[in-house]
Amino acid sequence: MNVNVQRLRPDAQLPRYGSAQAAGADLYAALDAPLTLTPGQTALVPTGVAMAIPAGYVGLVFARSGLACKRGLAPANKVGVIDSDYRGEIMVALHNHGALPQTVEPGERIAQIALVPFLHAEFDAVAELDATERGTGGFGSTGTK
């Protein structure tokens, strides 16, 4: 599948896959200068790109595992959702979950985007739902092992 990507800044990098089997393509910080996030701080980091995600797909923005585990930097909203009709710049709400300030450099990989098909549902109000073995059991109701 080909996806049209518009560079909104001359130095913006197109998303790229880190390996042949990678599910997510890296997104890069389109910054003019380094950006330091203090512990607990969230900042919108521009990527400098906009995408024409095909209808029937959604762009899901996830943390890069190394950045999250080693430096505590991950999207504040855990998973960002880029709808197929959005044509603005993709921004990453990057949050410093760690105990130390972290600096994001221009051109650094800050997140990854996976293009995923989805079903668009119609939601019908009903008086009750069909019964299941689990029923209304919620958090932890299925055990830990």
pLDDT at res. 135:
87
Domain ranges for the chain: 4-117
Give the pLDDT confidence of 86-139 residue by residue, as tens digits.
999 999 999 999 999 999 999 999 999 999 999 999 999 999 999 998 888 888
Name the band, by pLDDT with cuts 50, 70 and 90, for residue 143.
confident
pLDDT at res. 141:
75
pTM: 0.90
Name the band, by pLDDT with cuts 50, 70 and 90, for residue 8.
very high
pLDDT at res. 144:
74
How far are the Cα atoms of 4, 27, 43, 101, 129 from residue 7, in angstroms, in the given order? 10, 12, 21, 30, 47
pLDDT at res. 136:
87
CATH of domain 4-117: 2.70.40.10
Pairing of strands 49-52, 102-104: unpaired
CA–CA gap between residue 30 and residue 101 (Å, rounded): 20
